[in-house]
């Protein structure tokens, strides 16, 4: 059941006060919700470090934000390819040199509905490698500073978590059998969400009350997601959908992650996003999370598989 704890219009960035002195790190800010979230955080006085794969696009986006908000806004970028574990490790090291606190890490970047099975340089299926394992390693390597800062980890999931096979294909993580772009995307987003709820449990067990972890989704937002990596068919379908009221602006799509990064006393057990029809559009609140995303046996195993696959463990 949807819960609109911030009133009938839902949560909006009007609730964010001054963010002077706060630092946010966000992935995938060269487009879509990541770009909009960066702009809003910067407009409230925060320092924002964006982690993007394309330096030319990064330059252009930082330029656009400064043009709009003024040259004094504190936005910068580090080049990082989420689909390359060495690049993620190097970017994390650079971030740690650049900032002395992280109030929230927003795991926003992604590819979606890749029509054919492809692999990252590390041999992971591309959507799992970019969306899930890339963020896994980034989160683990920035964890100590987030901990010291009483910070948050925010994962941008998708309602796709409730589509596809609704679990993790442990016996065939790369989908060598039966690859299907939508199902594999859904699994990568489910993995991202499950690891947040598993992290909450592990933090609790470790007696850590410094770090908060949140899962959210942007509903259906008019961004470059499908045009960047989807099939021609999906691009046509989404192109038509964008003309309908079932798709909202990229700016509105950024609200849930901004809410999770900045709102005080937000219940970590929620799953935040638009609460209107099919949770695709509408006022932002708690959409509720379905039981398969909280399956303890699966999330525990996923955590262990991820440590082994990446060779990266968390200092919990
Ligand atoms: N739009 C929707 O309707 C929708 C629905 C459900 C969930 N989501 C989620 O919302 C989040 C934001 O997506 P969006 O819709 O804003 O899509 P978008 O406009 O395509 O933005 C995705 C961002 O991720 C970056 N990215 C892609 N691969 C990367 C890599 N290997 N390394 C580093 N960065 C990479 C992109 O960089 P480039 O600019 O270089 O491509 C871009 O900045 C994603 O997590 C997505 O799964 C979106």
- Please state the φ and ψ torsions of residue 9, each to the nearest 5 degrees: -90, 0
Residue recorded with tokens 């839902």: 10
What would the mean pLDDT of 35-44 be, rounded to a whole number?
98
> pLDDT-derived band of residue 78, with 50, 70 and 90 as boundaries?
very high
14/267 Cα distance (integer angstroms): 20
| Angle between helices 32-43 and 55-69 in degrees, nearest 10 | 40
What integer pLDDT is reported at residue 2 of this predicted model? 76
Per-residue pLDDT reduced to its tens digit, 188-200: 999 999 999 999 9
Mean pLDDT of the chain: 95
Domain-wise residue ranges, the chain: 21-175+183-310
Pick the residue whose CA is nearest to atom 5 on ligand 1: 220
Residues of the chain with pLDDT > 70, as a percent, come to: 99
What integer pLDDT is reported at residue 26 of this predicted model? 99
Per-residue pLDDT reduced to its tens digit, 112-159: 999 999 999 999 999 999 999 999 999 999 999 999 999 999 999 999
Question: Is pLDDT of 243 > 90?
Answer: no
What integer pLDDT is reported at residue 1 of this predicted model? 62
* Cα 127 to averaged position of ligand 1 atoms, centre (Å): 11
- Look up residue 199 and give its two tokens: 């992290």
Q: Which CATH number fits domain 21-175+183-310: 3.40.605.10, 1.10.260.40, 3.40.50.920, 3.40.50.720?
A: 3.40.50.720
Pick the residue whose CA is nearest to atom 43 on ligand 1: 28
Question: Is pLDDT of 162 > 90?
Answer: yes
Question: Is pLDDT of 307 > 80?
Answer: yes
Name residues contacting ligand 1 (CB within 6 A): 27-34, 52-54, 57, 80-83, 108-112, 130, 156, 158, 217-218, 220-221, 223-225, 228, 253
Per-residue pLDDT reduced to its tens digit, 220-236: 988 888 777 777 777 77
* Cα 135 to averaged position of ligand 1 atoms, centre (Å): 13
How many Cα neighbours within 13 Å face the side chain of 265?
Answer: 2
What is the position in ligand 1's atom list of the atom closest to the CA of 131? Answer: 45
What is the position in ligand 1's atom list of the atom closest to the CA of 221? Answer: 3
303/195 Cα distance (integer angstroms): 7
């Amino acid at each position: 059941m949807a819960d609109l704890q911030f009133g009938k219009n839902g949560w909006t960035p009007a609730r964010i006060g001054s963010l002077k002195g706060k630092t946010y790190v966000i992935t995938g800010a060269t487009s879509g919700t990541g770009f909009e979230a960066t702009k809003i955080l910067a407009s409230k006085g925060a320092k924002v470090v964006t982690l993007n794969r394309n330096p030319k696009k990064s330059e252009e986006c930082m330029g656009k934000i400064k043009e709009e908000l003024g040259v004094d806004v504190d936005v910068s970028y580090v080049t990082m390819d989420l689909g390359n574990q060495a690049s993620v490790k190097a970017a994390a090291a650079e971030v740690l040199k650049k900032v002395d606190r992280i109030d929230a890490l927003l795991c926003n970047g992604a590819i979606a509905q890749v029509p054919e099975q492809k692999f990252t340089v590390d041999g992971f299926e591309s959507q799992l490698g970019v969306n899930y394992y890339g963020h896994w390693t980034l989160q683990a390597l920035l964890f100590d500073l987030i901990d010291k800062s009483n910070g948050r980890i925010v994962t941008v999931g998708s309602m796709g978590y409730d589509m596809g096979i609704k679990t993790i294909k442990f016996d065939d993580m790369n989908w060598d059998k039966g690859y299907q772009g939508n199902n594999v995307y859904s699994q990568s987003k489910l993995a991202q969400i499950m690891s947040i709820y598993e992290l909450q449990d592990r933090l609790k067990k470790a007696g850590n009350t410094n770090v908060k972890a949140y899962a959210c989704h942007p509903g259906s937002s008019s961004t470059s997601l499908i045009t960047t990596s989807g099939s021609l068919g999906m691009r046509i379908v989404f192109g038509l959908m964008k003309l309908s009221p079932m798709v909202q602006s990229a700016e509105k799509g950024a609200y849930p992650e901004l809410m999770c990064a900045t709102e005080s006393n937000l219940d970590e057990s929620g799953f935040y996003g638009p609460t209107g029809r099919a949770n695709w559009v509408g006022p932002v609140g708690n959409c509720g999370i379905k039981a398969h995303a909280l399956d303890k046996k699966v999330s525990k195993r996923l955590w262990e598989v991820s440590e082994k696959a990446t060779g990266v463990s968390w200092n919990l």
